[in-house]
């Protein structure tokens, strides 16, 4: 047997912390959940039960807490880079570090149009995350993203012109409800001049703008595929540091409730959400070789 390097690692997962920073009376918080996984040069721990190279996962957990205090948590991406640097610089036999971080979406409570100095509310529109990979001797690779962004629009969506065969029962429709739970992950080619929080917010707003369209009119979606591609295109246009974007948009179905059996008409007014089965649409795009940052 031989090991598959990119699939061989160990570490600590699910390390939760809240970093509090104060500026006078104003308090700032970042709550994150961290996974750190490391790959060692030797595999003697697996092969022979020799633990002499192992950095205990408890040590890794304590390192996460210590670095949160020492370097702070300005953004998930910044903190992830600090973790990669620490393990690669502190242990010569660590060959690669993988970090996954998710951020809890705390927002300041607003009262009378004024933001509170130390009180927050959890507003879970979606989950922000980042993934980092740094191999010894290489530059850190950084992905950011979001998941579980549930959106719905009641019109301005259709699906026509698809293949029909003897098993097709789906009718063509030019006006339908469109709902999905969006997963998006993008890779940064460079972090130079990047405000990670601002870039993440811009990407999220691009996703919502393409899906919804102008507030008073909306925008027509010819398919989930087309809306997904238009979103990726806009993200790449807005944020030059991003080199590639992967997105998943499952088509969450809402079917008309059958009211005929109780002698009532249902004019597209009462619908039933159906979790499964669902259509899954996924695409990854990257800048062409002629694109320049």
Summarised one tens digit per residue, pLDDT across range 14-68 is: 999 999 999 999 999 999 999 999 999 999 999 999 999 999 999 999 999 999 9
Residues 205 and 167 placed together within one structural domain of the fold: yes
> Quick one: average pLDDT of 243-265?
96
- Catalytic residue from among 44, 57, 153, 246: 57
Domain boundary among 139, 160, 195: 139
Contact 17, 31 (CB under 8 A): yes
235 and 129, same domain (yes or no): no
Over residues 193-217, the pLDDT tens digits come to 899 999 999 999 999 999 999 999 9
Name which of 83, 273, 78, 84 is nearest 188 in CA terms.
78
> Is the pLDDT at 75 greater than 60, yes or no?
yes
Gap between the Cα atoms of 68 and 96, Å rounded: 21
Contacts of 135 (CB under 8 A, 6+ apart): 95, 96
Please state whether the predicted TM-score (pTM) of the whole model is above 0.85: yes
What average pLDDT does this structure show over 271-292? 90
Same domain membership, residue 122 and residue 29: yes
Number of domains in the chain: 2
27 catalytic per annotation: no
Indicate whether 212 belongs to any domain. Answer: yes
Those residues whose C-beta lies under 8 Å from the C-beta of residue 244, and which sit 6 or more positions away, are: 186, 187, 284, 285, 286, 287
Q: Which two tokens stand for residue 248?
A: 């998943």
Considering the domain architecture, whether residues 218 and 277 belong to the same structural domain is answered as yes
Residue 22 a catalytic site member: no
CA dist., res. 92 & res. 282, Å (int): 39
Query: In terms of DSSP H, where are the helices of the chain?
Result: 44-48, 57-71, 76-90, 196-212, 224-238
| pLDDT score at 1 | 86
Check whether residue 130 and residue 174 sit in a common domain. Answer: no
Mean pLDDT of the region 102-115: 96
Strand duo 94-103 + 26-40: pairing:
antiparallel
Please tell me which residue in 43, 44, 147, 253 is annotated as part of the active site.
Answer: 253
* pLDDT score of 289 more than 80: no
Tell me the average pLDDT across 119-143.
97
Q: What CATH number did the domain enclosing 84 receive?
A: 3.10.270.10
In a domain, 166, yes or no: yes
- Are 151 and 282 in a shared domain? yes
* Cβ neighbours for 246, distance < 8 A, ≥ 6 positions apart: 184, 185, 186, 282, 283, 284
Q: What are phi and psi of 20, to 5 degrees?
A: -105, 130
Residues 206 and 251 in one domain: yes
Boundary of a domain, candidates 139, 171, 189: 139
Asked whether residue 14 falls in the same domain as residue 66, the answer is yes
Residue closest to 230 by CA, chosen among 252, 198, 208: 208
Average confidence (pLDDT) over 3-15: 93
Question: Do residue 128 and residue 104 come from a single domain?
Answer: yes
Domain assignment present for residue 243? The answer is yes
84 and 186 inside one domain: no
pLDDT band, residue 159 (cuts 50/70/90): very high
Strand-pair partners of 23: 26
Assess contact for 242 and 257: CB atoms under 8 A: no
Letter string b/e over residues 79-89, b meaning 16 or more CB atoms within 10 A of that residue's CB: bbbbbbebbbe
Quote the domain boundaries for residue 90.
5-139
With bands split at pLDDT 50, 70 and 90, how would you rate the model's confidence at 6? confident
43 is catalytic: no
């Amino acid at each position: 047997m031989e090991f598959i390097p990119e699939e061989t690692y160990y570490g600590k997962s699910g390390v939760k912390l809240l970093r509090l920073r104060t500026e006078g009376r104003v308090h700032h918080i970042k709550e994150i959940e961290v996974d750190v996984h490391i790959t060692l040069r030797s595999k003697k721990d697996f092969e022979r039960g020799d633990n002499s190279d192992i950095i205990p996962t408890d040590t890794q957990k304590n390192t996460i807490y210590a670095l949160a205090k020492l370097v702070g948590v300005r953004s998930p991406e910044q903190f992830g880079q600090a973790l990669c640097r620490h393990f690669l610089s502190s242990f010569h036999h660590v060959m690669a570090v993988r970090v996954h971080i998710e951020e809890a979406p705390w927002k300041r409570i607003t009262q009378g149009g004024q933001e509170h100095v130390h009180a927050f509310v959890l507003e879970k529109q979606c989950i922000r995350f980042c993934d980092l990979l740094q191999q010894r001797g290489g530059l850190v690779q950084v992905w950011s993203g979001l998941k579980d962004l549930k959106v719905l629009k009641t019109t301005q969506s259709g699906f026509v012109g698809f293949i029909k065969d003897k098993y097709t029962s789906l009718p063509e429709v030019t006006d339908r409800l469109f709902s999905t739970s969006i997963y998006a992950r993008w890779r940064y080619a460079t972090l130079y001049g990047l405000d990670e929080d601002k870039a993440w917010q811009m990407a999220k707003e691009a996703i919502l703008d393409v899906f919804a369209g102008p507030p008073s009119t909306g925008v027509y979606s010819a398919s989930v595929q087309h809306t997904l591609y238009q979103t990726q295109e806009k993200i790449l246009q807005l944020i030059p540091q991003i080199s590639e974007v992967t997105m998943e948009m499952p088509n969450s179905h809402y079917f008309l409730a059958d009211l005929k059996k109780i002698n009532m008409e249902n004019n597209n007014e009462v619908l039933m959400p159906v979790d499964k089965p669902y259509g899954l649409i996924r695409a990854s795009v990257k800048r062409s070789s002629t694109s320049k940052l």
